[in-house]
């Protein structure tokens, strides 16, 4: 474990980085720590340590590797979210781990990032998570959802959701699965941001989903994207 020596501040987003690859973890923590509004309060080299540190330190955001030898990212995420609902978990993935990312999202992660995502984009994702938003980066969407489209045995057809959503909501759901945020959806459909946000909220409520990331996976599995 490595902890920051900086004094805790309510103005800083407190982040825990959980990854068993030392070079990646320490590099990510060091670079994120340079952001003026982010404080990396600890690092964990495994899932069990990540859960323990989340209990002790109550971070705002946890960056969670999806594959670890002692406790997989999905199990660690589930434990953290169940114990600390206010803590937001963002999954970190590589190209081959799409099924595991789906498991982490279902366990309660609010988003996922490809491990080759540039640091400025990771920082944006951390800020979005801290503010309560779900994060689905276009790169992660392309990698993970693209593979789900090709290989997921649960993948169904459009008829599976026919009648549940309006035509406009189906359009919005497809754009969510493309990794678009509300502002981009609004511009693409020539509607206001408030209207786009309302459509997203309606989709989640109708489908019984908790985040736009779950909605994206749902769309892919139903053959909508």
Residues 6 or more apart whose CB falls under 8 angstroms from that of 22 comprise 45
The confidence band for 7, taking pLDDT boundaries of 50, 70 and 90, is very low
pLDDT at position 9 over 50:
no
Domains of the chain and any CATH numbers: 2-147 (3.40.50.2300), 154-221 (1.10.10.10)
The percent of residues in the chain predicted with pLDDT above 90, rounded, is 45
**pLDDT per residue over 178-211, tens digit each?**
878 888 899 999 999 999 999 999 998 988 887 7
**pLDDT per residue over 58-106, tens digit each?**
999 999 998 888 998 999 999 999 999 999 999 888 755 566 767 777 7
Copy the structure tokens of residue 25. Answer: 């973890």
Angle at 111 between CA 158 and CA 206, to 5 degrees: 40
The C-alpha atoms of residue 195 and residue 197 are separated, in whole angstroms, by 5
Which one is predicted more confidently, 159 or 83? Answer: 83
Measured CA distances, 114 to 37, 51, 92, 111 (Å): 22, 22, 6, 10
């Amino acid at each position: 474990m490595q902890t920051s020596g900086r004094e805790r501040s309510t103005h800083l987003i407190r982040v825990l980085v959980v990854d068993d690859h030392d070079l990646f973890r320490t590099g990510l923590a060091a670079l994120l720590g340079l952001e003026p509004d982010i404080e990396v309060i600890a690092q964990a080299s495994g899932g069990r340590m990540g859960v323990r540190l989340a209990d002790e330190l109550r971070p705002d955001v946890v960056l969670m590797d999806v594959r670890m030898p002692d406790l997989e990212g999905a199990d660690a995420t589930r434990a953290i979210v169940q114990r600390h609902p206010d803590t937001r978990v963002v999954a970190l993935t590589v190209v081959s781990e799409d099924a595991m990312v789906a498991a982490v999202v279902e366990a309660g992660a609010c988003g996922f990032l490809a491990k080759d995502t540039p640091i400025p984009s990771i920082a944006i994702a951390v800020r979005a998570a801290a503010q309560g938003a779900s994060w689905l980066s276009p790169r992660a969407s392309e990698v993970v959802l693209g593979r789900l489209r090709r290989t997921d045995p649960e993948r169904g057809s459009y008829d599976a959701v026919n009648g549940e959503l309006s035509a406009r909501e189906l359009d919005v759901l497809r754009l969510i699965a493309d990794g678009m945020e509300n502002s981009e959806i609004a511009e693409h459909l020539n509607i206001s941001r408030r209207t786009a946000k309302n459509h997203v909220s309606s989709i989640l409520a109708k489908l019984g989903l908790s985040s736009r990331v779950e909605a994206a996976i749902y769309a892919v599995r139903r053959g909508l994207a």
